Structure 1
């Protein structure tokens, strides 16, 4: 094991490992219980399988969007490219400002859709699995909206980047 530094504390081991793992950046949007737009930036979105078409993402149960996920039925999962850096940052910041710009419209099932995303999956929430202070959300993919291709927006070492270049 001479090629590795040993980290015995599990929380630090997890954090250090995932800092070394690049993740795609997505934005999840939905409607809250009052029909208002809600959403957040996620780096945990992934395909769960193609037959049937399923996707999943994780969320902290203490997040501002958690009550909306409990009440919601449908979500829009936006994949982001390098041109969407500001959107990723805004959707990760103050929840009262996330929909302050006029860069989204009402999409299928009434969910907010950011029109400059590289793609958007429209899904129906199938299952929510509580795990400690977090949750895993499993979504049935209903349809996709395919936008303009762009180099992927990634999150790595606490920074946004695209393959081969840091953006902040």
Structure 2
């Protein structure tokens, strides 16, 4: 496939006075808020054995051989440092009743785990949000890729825990929503 730099029919038909907007952080946040996604809390344990975690909506599957996914974590995050150091992390996919956990893990705080029920899941001894997650994937870190103020963390899914739960929690337009019934 070859890419052309000549304007196509859509570009020629556009308002001749329109110009592309410069993309700053606010504009980009606004763009991405229009792309709703599921809500997850990425958890791990640091070198002292303390649980670490943060809310994450930048998550997607990568492939089936091996089963793998990726999460994007902020570079300054203690969760990122702990996941890389430990070589493992868990992705807790939240259900509707997990809204409070999503909010709690998205803001800085001394002990994000004090307000949620959690347990350690083997084989890596990683925290699972037992009352807020409808599924948890235990992952081994395959690779990290720095990208601006975040790092892409690729993980091989080695263990999955699922539970009967209400519908998945969604986030978009800067608010939480529930997966529609039916």
* Same-fold status (TM-score > 0.5): yes
Determine helix, strand or coil for the equivalent of 1:56: strand
Aligned pairs for 1:93-132 (under 5 A) are: 93-101=107-115, 103-108=117-122, 109-116=124-131, 117-132=133-148
Partner of 1:54: 68
- Tell whether the 8 Å contact from 1:64 to 1:95 is kept in structure 2 after alignment: no
Calculate the TM-score normalised by the size of structure 2: 0.82
Calculate the TM-score normalised by the size of structure 1: 0.88
Per-residue CA deviations over 1:103-130 (Å, capped at 9, x if unaligned) read 0011111111111210000110111111
Distance 1:111 1:84 in 2: 18
- Tell whether the 8 Å contact from 2:43 to 2:79 is kept in structure 1 after alignment: no
Cα 1:9/1:112, change in 2 over 3 Å: same
Distance 1:123 1:143 in 2: 7
RMSD of aligned Cα (Å): 2.0
Determine helix, strand or coil for the equivalent of 1:135: strand
Superposed displacement of residue 6, structure 1? 6.3
Partner of 1:133: 149
Aligned length in residues: 163
Asked which structure has the greater CA Rg, the reply is 2
Q: Show structure 2 runs of 5+ residues with no match.
A: 1-13
Determine helix, strand or coil for the equivalent of 1:150: coil
